[in-house]
Structure 1
Amino acid sequence: MFKPLAVLAISLSLAACATTPPAPRAPLRIATWNMEHLSEDGAQGCKARTDADYALMRRYADRLNADVIAFEEVESIKAASRVFDPAKYQLIIEERSAGDHFPCGGQEGRKLTRQAVGFAIRKGVQFDRAPDLADLAVGNPNLRSGVDIIVHARGHAPVRLLAVHLKSGCFNGLKGDACQTLQQQIPVLEKWIDARAAEPIRFIVLGDFNRRLARQDDVLWADLDDGQPANADLSLAEGTTTPKCDPRFKEFIDHIVLDARSARDLAGFEEQTYALADGHPSDHCPVVASLK
Structure 2
Amino acid sequence: MTGFTATIALALTLSACTTPQGAPRAAAPTGSPLKVASWNLEFLAEENGIGCQPRTDADYAAMRRIADTLDADVIAFQEAETPAAAARAFDPARYTIVMESRPGAPSGTCGGEQKTQTVIRQAVGFAIKKDIAFDRNADVTSLMLGNAQLRSGVDITLRPAGRAPLRLLGIHLKSGCFSGNEAKACPTLQQQIPALEAWIDQAATGPDRFIVLGDWNRRLGLAGDAVWTEIDDGEPQNADLRLADEGISPKCDRRYDSFIDHVVLDKRAGGDMLAFTETLYAPGEKHYSDHCPVMVTLRR
Indicate yes or no: 2:66 matched with 1:73: no
Counterpart CA distance in 2 for 1:24 and 1:176 is 48
Q: Could you tell me which amino acid in structure 1 is paired with residue 231 of structure 2?
A: L
Q: Which residue of 2 aligns with 1:34?
A: 40
Counterpart CA distance in 2 for 1:69 and 1:108 is 30
Q: Could you tell me which amino acid in structure 1 is paired with residue 150 of structure 2?
A: L
Shift of 1:264: 0.4
- Deviation beyond 4 Å, 4+ runs, structure 1: none
Q: Which residue of 1 aligns with 2:234?
A: 227
Residue pair 2:124, 2:171 contacting (<8 A) in 1 also: yes
Q: Which residue of 1 aligns with 2:56?
A: 50
Q: Which residue of 1 aligns with 2:131?
A: 124
Indicate yes or no: 2:280 matched with 1:273: yes
Q: 1:62 aligns with which of 47, 50, 68?
A: 68
Counterpart CA distance in 1 for 2:98 and 2:233 is 31
Please state which structure has a larger fraction of its residues in helix.
Answer: 1
Shift of 1:140: 1.1
Q: Could you tell me which amino acid in structure 2 is paired with residue 116 of structure 1?
A: A
Counterpart CA distance in 1 for 2:64 and 2:110 is 25
Q: Could you tell me which amino acid in structure 1 is paired with residue 279 of structure 2?
A: Q
Cα deviations by residue, 1:82-118 (Å, 9 ceiling, x for unpaired):
0101000000000000213221003242111000000
Structure 1 residue ranges without an equivalent (≥5) = 1-22
Counterpart CA distance in 1 for 2:103 and 2:127 is 19
Counterpart CA distance in 1 for 2:134 and 2:49 is 34
Q: Which residue of 1 aligns with 2:179?
A: 172
The 5 A counterparts of 1:1-292 are: 25-106=31-112, 107-292=114-299
Query: What's the TM-score, normalizing by structure 2?
Result: 0.88
Instruction: Work out the percentage of aligned pairs sharing the same amino acid.
Output: 54
Secondary structure in structure 1 of the residue aligned to 2:185: helix
Give the alignment's Cα RMSD to 1 decimal.
1.1
Counterpart CA distance in 2 for 1:108 and 1:231 is 46
Shift of 1:277: 4.2
Query: What's the TM-score, normalizing by structure 1?
Result: 0.90
Q: Could you tell me which amino acid in structure 1 is paired with residue 166 of structure 2?
A: V
Shift of 1:276: 2.6
**Bigger radius of gyration, 1 or 2?**
1
Shift of 1:24: 7.7
Secondary structure in structure 1 of the residue aligned to 2:195: helix
Residue pair 2:78, 2:124 contacting (<8 A) in 1 also: yes
Higher relative contact order (Cα pairs below 8 Å, separated by 6+ residues): 2
